[in-house]
Amino acid sequence: MIIDLVFFAFSGLLLLAAMGVIVSKNPVHSALFLVLSFFACSALWLLLEAEFLAITLVLVYVGAVMVLFLFVVMMLDINVAEMREGFVRYLPVGALVAVIMVAQMVWVVGDFAGDTFNGEALQQSVRHAADYSNTKELGKVLYTDYVLPFEVASLILLVAIIAAIALTMRRRSTTKYQTPDKQIQVKRNDRLRIIKMDAEVEK
């Protein structure tokens, strides 16, 4: 009973927050609604006994990705009125995408998909004991059966990291900065030139 109540509370929160993401005028508010929806989603995953995934969702998406995302959104100078101009123009495209997505979800979750997602199959899921470690089980599978895809994914991430650093590592020739050791080693003759000239006399 209580689990059902918690489930409906967090699902409702998730739906409201997701609505907030697309409805709010201010992009920072949208980003914060997205954070809230991640939280609600993570609570739902906890109810499914997927505590590793739930906490990782908060750790990675809320703790790192959305922080950087907020940084970008806060620094942008966004004109809200300008953003709303294209609404009617883009509406058909958006509606088309939405219809396709809903159709796909109905196809997968609905009765068409055999017994993967229908009610009977779902009720058979097992409740594990309190000492069952979700993290350990995931780790076992990840480093044995799926080790190759896992390593490929990590390699792709590594490439992305190096690419991001390479993109920002540019040294402009016009940048001026001090090199203290050169400043110390400077001799008088590098800076000063004594010339001989006749005295100038004003006429």
Residues that bind another protein (CB under 8 A): 2, 26, 28-29, 32, 35, 51-52, 55-56, 58-59, 62-64, 67-68, 70-71, 74-75, 131-135
CB-wise, 65 or 96, nearer to another protein? 65
Distance of alpha carbon 111 from alpha carbon 166, whole angstroms: 49
CB-wise, 136 or 203, nearer to another protein? 136
Residue 84's contacts (CB-CB under 8 Å, 6 or more residues apart) are 25
CB of 100 to another protein, least distance (A): 34
Residue 127 in 3-state DSSP?
A: coil
Specify the long-range contacts of residues 75-79, CB closer than 8 Å, at least 24 apart. Answer: 76/27, 78/27
**DSSP state letter for 145:** T
CB-wise, 68 or 93, nearer to another protein? 68
CB of 67 to another protein, least distance (A): 6
Alpha-carbon Rg for the chain in angstroms? 30
CB-wise, 113 or 159, nearer to another protein? 159
Q: Residue 43's CB: how many other CB atoms inside 10 A? A: 19
CB of 49 to another protein, least distance (A): 11
CB-wise, 13 or 118, nearer to another protein? 13
Question: How many CA within 13 A on the CB side of residue 54?
Answer: 14
CB-wise, 130 or 195, nearer to another protein? 130
CB of 151 to another protein, least distance (A): 16
CB of 170 to another protein, least distance (A): 18
Instruction: Tell which residue, 124, 100, 122, has the closest CA to residue 113.
Output: 122
CB of 10 to another protein, least distance (A): 17
Residue 31 in 3-state DSSP?
A: helix
